[in-house]
Amino acid sequence: MRLVSLVALCLGLATPAMAQSGCGTDLPCDIPSGGYRIALPEGKGPFPVVLFLHGYGGSATGTMRGGMARAAQARGYAFIVPEALVRPGRNRTSWGFHPDFPGPRNEADFLQEVMQDASARFGIDPTRSLLTGFSIGGSLASYIACARPDDFTAYAPVSGSFWRPHPEGCAGPVRLLHTHGWRDQVVPLEGREIRPGFVQGDVFHAMDLWRTANACARHYPDKFETDGDFWRRVWLDCAPGSALELALFDGGHGMPRGWSNMALDWFEAQIGPTQ
């Protein structure tokens, strides 16, 4: 066992599972395709999971210092942050999210490897798993939801969606909550060109793809919510077991205040209470 883990255990800062595994919040868990960090709630598992994909240039270490990890733990979730890679010739982390510009590894397979390893080490519950991510991390979450909807129980991308050309269609029904800033200029709702041939997609077109995948009866929402910090559009008359919602907030490119609880409330409406 590593010295840092021993010190943490002596100080009462590590759970027994983290102490036994030798990794967790402060030390990365290494697997063949990369690594991840994990924060566990108090109590006995198996724990439901929030798996968060950081944005371009981000890191698991930085994400773990934010409020999302604490919010998830307080509600009984394991919070997992996989580490993106630095591509050859670049100096910042990024995900191989774009089908036309794949990275050095298959990211969807990598995330399943993360889930399998965390299940073995920490006793998480993959059948209650929420894949989310910010910006490019949100784009990767969207592409996995489209191509492999059964990989996770539900999806909640933030400020990141498909790029052009948009997918022609998605594999099947999905539970998805997309959140986006009304004034986002980094990833506008309508998208923008980053460089020739590398163009962000249109969130409203993405919602049409999700409605088709979920066999929703109408283009327009069945329910609107405009009180609070989020303006929410909800489609209810869709395929059994699916869920679809768009939440807009009055802000730019960032994780909005109150998002963690809003997203977990939505997730628990799909799977039931976790505690």
Residue 93's domain comprises: 23-271
Q: Peptide bond preceding 221: is omega within 30 degrees of 0, i.e. cis? A: no
SS3 for 96?
coil
Asked if the structure places residue 108 within a domain, the reply is yes
DSSP 191: -
CATH number for 80:
3.40.50.1820
> Is 13 within the bounds of a domain?
no
| Percentage of residues of the chain with pLDDT beyond 90 | 84
- The total domain count for the chain is 1
Tokens of 55: 């944005």
Helix and strand element counts for the chain (H, E): 8, 15
The model's pTM: 0.92
Question: For residues 235 and 244, is the Cβ–Cβ distance under 8 A?
Answer: yes
Q: Taking the mean position of all CA atoms in its chain, how far away is CA 229? A: 20
Residue 18: inside a domain: no
β-bridge mates for residue 36, sequence order: 29, 82
User: Cα(119)–Cα(124) distance, rounded to whole angstroms?
Assistant: 5
Per-residue pLDDT tens digits for 191-232: 999 999 899 999 999 999 999 999 999 999 999 999 999 999
Residue 269 has a pLDDT of 95
8: in domain: no
Q: Are 146 and 163 in contact (CB under 8 A)?
A: no
Report the range of poorest mean pLDDT among 31-40, 91-100, 186-195, 258-267.
91-100
Whether residue 92 lies inside any domain: the answer is: yes
Residue 42 lies in a domain: yes
Please report which confidence band the pLDDT of residue 8 belongs to, taking 50, 70 and 90 as the band edges.
very low
Examine residue 6 and state whether it is found in any structural domain, yes or no.
no
The per-residue pLDDT for 17 is: 61
Q: What is d(CA 151, CA 273) in angstroms, rounded to the nearest whole number?
A: 21
Angle, nearest 10°, between helix axes 67-74 and 259-271?
Answer: 40
Would residue 267 count as lying in a domain?
A: yes
Mind listing the pLDDT tens digit for each residue in 90-148? 789 999 988 888 888 999 999 999 999 999 999 999 999 999 999 999 999 999 999 99
Question: In whole angstroms, what separates CA 60 from the centre of its chain?
Answer: 13
